[in-house]
Amino acid sequence: MEVKLLFGVHSHQPVGNFNHVMEWAYQRAYRPFTEVVSRFPEFKFTVHFTGPLLEWLESHHPEFIDLLAELIDRGQAEFVVSGFYEPVLAAIPYDDRVGQIEMAKEYARKRFGVEPEGLWLTERVWESEVVPALLETGIRYVVVDDYHFLCVGKDLSELHGYFLTEFEGRKLAIFPIDQKLRYLTPFRPLDEVFDYLATIRKASGDGAIIFDDGEKFGIWPGTHSWVYERKWLENFVKRTLETDWLTPTTYGGYLKANKPLGRIYLPTASYFEMGEWSLPADKAVEFQKFVRELEKLGDFERYRKFVRGGIWRNFLVKYEEANRMHKKMLEISKLVAQKGDQTARKFLYKGQCNDAYWHGVFGGLYLPHLRHAVYENLIEAEKIVADKGIKIDDFDCDGYDEVRIRTDGLSIWVIPRHGGGIAELSLFKHRFNLADTLMRRFEHYHRGIKLGSRSDKGVSSIHEIEKIVDERTYRALRYDWYQRLMFIEHFIDDRVTLDDFRNAAFYDLGNFALEPFDFEVDDESVVLSRKGMLKFGAESVGLALTKRFSAYGTGISATYNLQSDGDVLDDVKLGVELNLALPYGDSPGTSVKFDGKAVGSARSEMEAKDVETIEILDSSGLELEISANHPFNLWIVPIYTVSQSESGFDLTYQATAILMSWYVKGLLGVPLEIGMKVR
């Protein structure tokens, strides 16, 4: 039986990625891949480029877009779309789904003269609620993983074609991507690939279905040499065209020429690996163990259809920082819908780019420049559509109210439930969230990390990463027990050291950093209060803490008042922690001054006494001044995370943590005022 090869390539770079990374990816993967296949007009395939990458290519390599247009025009390549800026469609509002898809289709009409009917479903995150938006925008088919079909009882042998689902009687075709073919291509020798393709001749359908990342063809470790210098791709294309029982075709062409294999209703799912990544870290460890046990027994493939982890939305539970970005995006989306401003809408769409909202084998959420890009665009939209003032609402959808303060220059998000801290301090002038930090967490892939030197051997897939790190990275495997917000209060004694603070290994004598605060607001400020206690061994003392946040222009002040109902030990200190996500905090050019005297860069650890003013001059041009009405002792430490990426393990700067401290006895009944000005 003849087999139809449905070969699809999806290429993406996130909003905010570095220009040199885009250029490198272009030269290593996108350009050589397209040049190779262009030499073989009979090799038909389907292609998807996301909006951020298309915009970059238009401005840096328009000749590539011209080549792509030529392949489309001659019928060799079929162009499909997603949401233009590559959002997870299920995670954005309905109108934004429609708008993003229409934006992508409009680009295809203008640039390529085609009306796309297929959709690459971002991260293959399927929820049935996305179907109406697909139908409204004229999408006839969508591509997901075979795992989605296995979850509802299909066998792999049944998945060599497409199925139909429906919404209120309106039909949508769904193609299942063959995971085995996805793992073989382009990592294994051609004989293995074609031996597998030959098995499909005996299946119930005739489609060999693959649609995967273009980055696999030149960017993933070891692939550029394998795919181009050793000519895996060229030889694959030639052998495909020379094999009499194998015919390459586009997805759209197959849809027109073939009947569906049946009717299907899919569960909420993504690809199998996403189920592992989205679980809480400890449960992901158990998940891995379970999979390994099944593999040892030789039963994994048999029972894989019954093995399910989490879903994509679990990332919004696993990472509070991702949830806050997501809920800000939803807030801005509502405002854009109300105002109808098209400039703001485009910024919103850019801020919906998926990469920074989750974390798997790539950096994602752990990459500050991707989070910064999301905030930058949401802030730009916010400047256009949001009104000044104070608003109370459950913005993060946890059942507790938060406070949003907006001035001409700032947007502030106060979280009373989590120590009364500030989770967002967005600067309109700089289009930057100074509180865009990330908590150091245990991740399931941290288990088994060893100190040493990596081997020179390349890996065949990014799903197989050596767990070897250098000493600096190994020492950074520390975990926080509180969220890295701004204006969080600790109570410590003289035994706590700078090392303890850096490693989050100190005992907090108070019960404030993790606990909820009561709050009330007026026209200009929010007042938070908590009646807690200080604990000294078996003894405890009641302590009432009040802090008032007031915003003005591009500055904020925090006024503290402490009252105790007993004796506080002499060496007990109030430590006010500020976690600053400086744009270039890890750059040697970002300098710090104490009371006007230069003391080093923000990437350095610092300790000082009797300081009145801190000045930080970021390499981006942002200038920050922090002062208090009482001299303070000071610790400054850079915060680094250890995260998995396609190249191994990354040590990434996330924030500069500042602890300003005063002895409590000197503050009882005496107002403490801390000011922060941004220029």
| Residue-wise pLDDT tens digits, 66-122 | 999 999 999 999 999 999 999 999 999 999 999 999 999 999 999 999 999 999 999
Residue 462 has what pLDDT? 52
Q: In this structure, what DSSP letter does residue 203 have?
A: S
For 541-572, the pLDDT digits (tens) are 999 999 999 998 899 999 999 999 999 989 99
| Residue 102 annotated among the catalytic residues of the structure | no
For 317-327, the pLDDT digits (tens) are 999 999 999 99
pTM: 0.96
CA distance 413 to 404: 5
Is the separation of the CB atoms in 552 and 676 below 8 Å? Answer: no
> Phi and psi at residue 93, in whole multiples of 5°?
-60, 160
CA distance 164 to 189: 34
| Residue 215 annotated among the catalytic residues of the structure | no
Q: Is the dihedral of CA 624, 423, 381, 519 positive or negative?
A: negative
Q: Is the dihedral of CA 581, 585, 590, 596 positive or negative?
A: positive
Percent of the chain having pLDDT more than 70?
98
For 225-252, the pLDDT digits (tens) are 999 999 999 999 999 999 999 999 999 9
Encoded amino acid at 450, one letter: K
How large is the average pLDDT for residues 357-383? 97
Query: Helices (DSSP H) in 61-210: which residue ranges?
Result: 62-73, 94-112, 131-136, 146-150, 179-184, 190-199
Task: Identify any residues that bridge with 78 across adjacent strands, giving them in sequence order.
Answer: 46
Residue ranges of domains in the chain, CATH in brackets: 3-269 (3.20.110.20), 399-441+475-678 (2.70.98.10)
Comparing C-alpha atoms, which of 348, 347, 367, 369 is closest to residue 359?
367
pLDDT band, very low/low/confident/very high, at 435 (cuts 50, 70, 90) = very high
Q: Look at residue 535 and tell me whether its pLDDT is greater than 90.
A: yes
In residues, how long is the chain?
679
Choosing from 70, 213, 401, 650, the catalytic residue is: 213
- CA distances from residue 605 to 226, 367, 497, 633, 647 in whole angstroms, order as listed: 44, 22, 12, 14, 28
CA distance 161 to 254: 9
Extended beta strands in 163-304, E state: 163-167, 170-177, 207-213, 246-249
CA distance 462 to 483: 30
Choosing from 78, 86, 96, 123, the catalytic residue is: 123
CA distance 576 to 491: 9
Comparing C-alpha atoms, which of 393, 395, 383, 403 is closest to residue 331?
395
CA distance 533 to 241: 76
